[in-house]
A and B are shown apart, each in its own frame.
Chain A
């Protein structure tokens, strides 16, 4: 069965500092991996996705993520955080691009001045 773990429930970073959000997955085959962002009262927006190929994936808003099969991880990074990045971030895994997703519990990001 697929599962996703986001170890950090809350993270606080200063504006301009770098960010890394952790995501570990459990899946028997090559997973389809996603990062979504949710602003308060909003739906989910896709930041980036990994299906195959280059393990470093670039997304929108300056985010990137790296797939590490040996560590079953897909961590999200941003070199310099902006106040507008404050939101809830969800990692998700799917068996196929068109199949339903299993989401992690999310990491809430707070950005301080």
Chain B
């Protein structure tokens, strides 16, 4: 298996623009997680899905953030409009019973 796939790997955008991050989980995994990593706050959970259903979105910073999982093999995290404070590395992870596997992350820079 190719592991968790995230795209793009790097994204540079201007404040106010819409940003969409994509994730393909490992086939057969039924849970998917979005995390954000910053120097100040470390790794934070944004939202997670179980069987494509959002279970906990309490970590989503505000209404500018939204996440979807239309099927078992694809998820998106959208920021609209983006702000400079959204600059971070965004990780997607998927899990089987006992382990979360992380993707390589998307480094987002909002100018």
Partners in one complex: yes
Q: Which residues of B contact A34 (CB under 8 A)?
A: 100
Q: Known: A103-B43, A105-B42. Contact between A98 and B104, CB under 8 A?
A: no
Contact residue among A45, A99, A104 (Cβ-Cβ distance under 8 Å from B102): A45
The residues in B between 60 and 111 inclusive whose CB is less than 8 angstroms from any CB of A are: 91, 93, 95, 97-105
Complexed CA–CA distance, A99 and B13 (Å) = 32
* Interface of chain B: mostly helix, strand, loop or mixed: strand
Which A residue's beta carbon lies closest to that of B91? A43
- B58 — nearest CB in chain A belongs to which residue? A100
- Complex formed: what's the CA distance from A101 to B50 in Å? 14
Which of A45, A46, A104 has the most chain B CB atoms inside 10 A of its CB? Answer: A46
Q: Residue-by-residue, is A78-113 near B (CB-CB < 8 Å gives 1, otherwise 0)?
A: 000000000000100000011111111110000000
Shortest Cβ gap from A84 to chain B (Å): 19
**Cβ contact within 8 Å between B97 and A98:** yes
A 29-82 contacts with B by CB, 8 A: 34, 36, 42-46, 49, 51
Number of interface residues of B (CB under 8 A): 24
Which residues does chain A contribute within 8 Å of B104, judged by CB atoms? 42-43
Taking the complex as formed, is B56 at the interface, i.e. its CB lies under 8 A from any CB of chain A?
yes
Say how far B62's CB is from chain A's closest CB, in angstroms: 19
Chain A residues within 8 Å of B97, by CB: 97-98
Which chain B positions have C-beta within 8 A of A104? 42
A94 to chain B: closest residue by CB: B100
Complex: A51 Cα to B97 Cα, angstroms: 12
Which residues of A have CB within 8 Å of B35?
103
**Which chain A residues in 5-20 approach chain B with CB under 8 Å?**
none
Q: 10 closest pairs, A vs B, by CB?
A: A43-B102, A103-B43, A44-B102, A105-B42, A100-B45, A43-B104, A97-B98, A100-B48, A98-B31, A43-B105
Q: List 18 A-B contacts (CB under 8 A).
A: A34-B100, A43-B4, A43-B91, A43-B102, A44-B91, A44-B93, A46-B99, A49-B99, A51-B98, A90-B43, A97-B95, A97-B97, A97-B98, A98-B31, A98-B50, A101-B100, A103-B42, A103-B44
